[in-house]
Amino acid sequence: MKKGESSLTSLISAFGRSCHSQFDTPKIFNDYIAKDLISQKEFNNIKENMVQGIHFFNKDIVQKFKGDTEEILKWITQIQLSPTPLARAAYCEKVLLNEVMLELKQYVILGAGLDTFSFRHPELENTLEIFEIDYPTTQEFKKKRLDEANFKVPSNLHFVSMDFTKKFSYQNLRDEGFGNKKTFFSLLGVSYYLTKEEISSLIDNLFAKVPSGSSIVFDYADEKLFEEKGIFNRVENMVKMASASGEPMKSCFSYYEIERMLEKSGLLIYEHLSPDKINELYFDNRKDYLSAFETIHYIHAIKK
């Protein structure tokens, strides 16, 4: 991301969640607030860019839908854009809410972007402290959008400015009231863009100063990332788009490598969802284009 710019990724992610909430049935993950954080102009611009880019994704679809922009947009969002962000958010929040029932006190969202969890769960304001970590420009952009949409920032939501991919600092969190309590971390859509060494170091740092029972949910790409094409070449397209945007995908793992990396940081895998399992849990019997990405897995790991 360029200095002084907010995250385009966070806008596009919110766009995907907004489209799903408004237009898809049944819902995998219903982020009904996302639409309020995107201006109509931004929504239209992203939509227009997606539709105009259909030639990149699939030339046959151009012929099949012959100028039907709504169907083209639906195809792009459901095939390429939305499957992973929707399912990983649904999984992460399911795990998180279960942890809350087990008296979790702190939730740290790494790369929060335009996350809306705290606004969709006002009932947790007095029981769960939420720390959103992201670039200063992204956070300022989000605060501005919340203000424009007349959302009051709840007392349990704390914005922590940090480039955690370069250096993670607990001091920044402590300055916002973070304590030595059982903590849940979410690290979604981040691991692909870091080297294996950077991911290992980050997880080491995250769990160095939190008690036993603290845990993390993250997604990762398996060892077929750079060779698997996926349906409609969507995996290959994902890799190409990341590279073209200046943020190339850098890492993929075998399950054994993930297990070994987490073990080194004192974590045990509590649950692992393969692409087939994700498809079964979140996309089964759908009548639209949505299905689990072929190379993406989810992990819930707990500190021993």
pTM for the whole structure:
0.96
Count CB-CB contacts under 10 A for residue 187. 24
Report percent pLDDT > 90 for the chain. 91
Q: What is the band of 1 on the pLDDT scale with cuts at 50, 70, 90?
A: very low
**Structure-model confidence comparison of residues 8 and 130, the more confident one:** 130
CB atoms within 10 A of CB 106: 22
Distance of CA 130 to the CA centre of its chain: 16
Question: Which residue from 79, 89, 81, 96 is spatially nearest to 111, judged by alpha carbons?
Answer: 89
The single residue listed with the structure tokens 């399950």 is 255
CA gap 299, 274 in Å, rounded: 9
Going by pLDDT thresholds of 50, 70 and 90, the confidence category of residue 109 is very high
Please write the tens of the pLDDT for every residue from 115-153: 999 999 999 999 999 999 999 999 999 999 999 999 999
Tell me the pLDDT band of 202, cut-offs 50, 70 and 90: very high
pLDDT classification of 2: cutoffs 50, 70, 90: very low
Looking at residue 82, what DSSP letter applies? S
pLDDT above 90 for 295: yes
Domain boundaries, the chain: 8-81, 87-303
- The pLDDT assigned to 3 comes to 43
Which region holds residue 152: left if phi is over 0, alpha if psi is between -120 and 50, else beta?
beta
* Position 7 pLDDT exceeds 90: no
> Under a CB-based contact definition with an 8 Å cutoff, are residues 191 and 251 in contact?
yes
Q: How many CB atoms are closer than 10 A to CB 205?
A: 15
Fold adopted by 87-303: Rossmann fold (3.40.50)
Residues 53-79: pLDDT tens digits? Answer: 898 899 899 899 988 999 999 999 999
Q: pLDDT digits over 225-280, tens only? A: 999 999 999 999 999 999 998 889 999 999 999 999 999 999 999 999 999 999 99
Q: What is the pLDDT of residues 17-48, one digit of tens each?
A: 999 999 999 999 999 999 999 999 999 999 99
